[in-house]
Amino acid sequence: MREAYIPVLTSPSASSDPISPRIMKDPSNPKQPRFLVIGAGSRGNAYARAVNTATTGVIHAVAEPHAVKRREFGRNYIWKTGPSAGQEFADWREWIAWELGRRNSAESANTVGVDGVFICTLDETHVEIVQAIAPLKLHILCEKPLALSLNDCLTVYRTLQPPQGSIITPPEKIFSIGHVLRYSPHNILLRKLLADRVIGDIISLEHCEPVGWWHFSHSYVRGNWRRATAAGDGSLLTKSCHDIDFIMWLLCSPPTPERGTQQTLQPHFPRSISSAGTMTQFRRKRKPATAGNATNCLSCPAERDCSYSAVKIYNDRHLAQGHTAWPVDIVCPDIEDVFRAQGSKAAESLLLARLGEDYDRTTMADETIASRPWYGRCVYEADNDVCDDQVVTLAWDDEETAPHRLAKTASFHMIAPTEKQCERRGRVYGTTGEIAYDSHSISIYDFGTQKTSTIDVPKPPPDQKESHGGGDYGLARQFVSAVEAVENGGVDVETAQARFVGCSLEEVVRSHAVVFAAEEARREEKVIKWESWWSEKLETSAAACKTQA
């Protein structure tokens, strides 16, 4: 039996449908929330597109060091004929200096600032930017991951919600994280079905992120995320931290409080966390013998026979088909301008020149090699060290006190060599049935009737197909709605955070902590006992904070 299902949603547990027509707005209206986007890369563009399309908010300014990307972003989302004062900055520091000057000026009433900031820069910059922006008392949405270490995540927590003695201060502004999986209609419905016990008590969950064979080589072998951090945390954090958050949201977090009610149910935390994974594929032992000593695709005799040929991936698969967006614009940020002004041949020459860039380990320092991506480098001769296959297992005990939630398990599999690219899939086993899901539909098998019902979740329109199933739009809408409720609706921050964002800063830090615990378990081949591990980490961090003070 197949049913059509159109979600009617109003909060993160039931969020408004991100598949909505463009909202008409008046940019001169002072009541419309205004935002700065720091970083005009793929994520900055994704959130700006979502804000302009599906919210009452306005993208007012951009801070981006690459001039071509900055101007293109401005033309697409901010200005029609050119930037006004306070709309274009070479980096976030320049914007902060301008904003401080604006606030200190006697003419500040005549200049326009912003209500909030989208932080869409490289992962390692997030903490510094949050710390610098915090004194300005602006609402913040930060792309995931929050930070590259647990200590840095806790630093962000203390920065935004500084403790006063033994009391944690309530949040002063809205904070959200780029955990977009919480905000797609598909996943909101899945969570509601589980909460409504359509398969009874949950016994176990299996969730998989198939990264995609060439996507992994682009981002995690040749690209910015190919090396683990100093703490040893790699692709699980940078690629799949929102998958771990998704599992915690389904199995650990209580329902989002409805309008006018208070949250009383506490999270059901896991008992233990374990993980296994390694770098199996992209290493020298896997290199085809026919490639010889080649280290770059443009000089490799086996290039035409290699699935991971950079020429095939970036030129044949994308640029030659007229596609100048991701991933080609990551290799050459100015590719679209060259393609538009000089034609396809000039764009191809530029791309091949970039792909031909290489290094010699014997003459170039490792820190220089690590400082930038090398998109034409042989995937079997790269300097990557992150897992391309990893499994995380979580286990829960029965809850001894009311409401007596029951024991269950969950497993997560991040795998690189797959046909599907980031099209997540999974299965949930319950006492009365099971649910299977992929990125497009949800099917429910009932043990009693022995029948399967399938729910087709509405697909985003073509211009939203790369939006995590509408999750980018859902997240942007909920964040902007929370900001608007605080700034224009007189709603206190804590209520707006719970009602619209559906996730506190504490929950953000905790879900990141589960990732760090899993990586520690993988590195040291041990089982993490969550309660004692988390208590110890918090005590150590608090002690270090007192010492520094």
Tens digit of each residue's pLDDT (9 = 90 or more) over 252-281: 976 655 544 455 678 899 999 999 999 999
Share of the chain above pLDDT 90, in %: 78
- In this structure, what token pair is assigned to residue 127? 């903490």
111-168 pLDDT, tens per residue? Answer: 889 999 999 999 999 999 999 999 999 999 999 999 999 999 999 999 998 876 656 6
H/E run at residue 352: helix 344-355
Name the pairing type of β-strands 58-63 and 88-89. Answer: parallel
Residue with tokens 């991936």, as numbered in its chain: 313
Greatest CA separation found in the chain?
73
Q: Provide the 10 A C-beta neighbour count for residue 167.
A: 7
Report which DSSP code applies to 428. Answer: E
List the beta strands (DSSP E) in 99-182.
116-119, 139-142, 163-164, 167-168, 175-177
At 549, the pLDDT band (50, 70, 90 cuts) reads low
pLDDT attached to residue 403: 78
pTM for the whole structure: 0.90
Say how far apart CA 105 and CA 88 lie, in whole Å. Answer: 19
Torsion of CA 48, 53, 59, 64, to 10 degrees: 20
Q: Looking at this protein, which amino acid is placed at residue 358? A: D
pLDDT tens per residue, range 460-476? 666 655 567 788 999 99
The band of 495, judged by pLDDT with boundaries at 50, 70 and 90, is very high
Task: Write the Ramachandran bin of 502: left for phi over 0, alpha for psi from -120 to 50, otherwise beta.
Answer: left
The top-level CATH class assigned to 9-143 is alpha beta
pLDDT of amino acid 167: 66
Give, rounded to a whole angstrom, the gap between the first and last alpha carbons of the chain: 63
Every domain range in the chain assigned CATH 3.40.50.720: 9-143
Stronger pLDDT, 252 or 26, i.e. the higher one: 252
Number of residues that this document lists for the chain: 549
Angle among Cα 488, 490, 495 to the nearest 5 degrees reads 115
Q: Could you tell me the pLDDT band of residue 21, with boundaries at 50, 70 and 90?
A: very low
- Give the pLDDT confidence score for residue 423 in this predicted structure: 93
Residue 14 has pLDDT above 60, yes or no: no
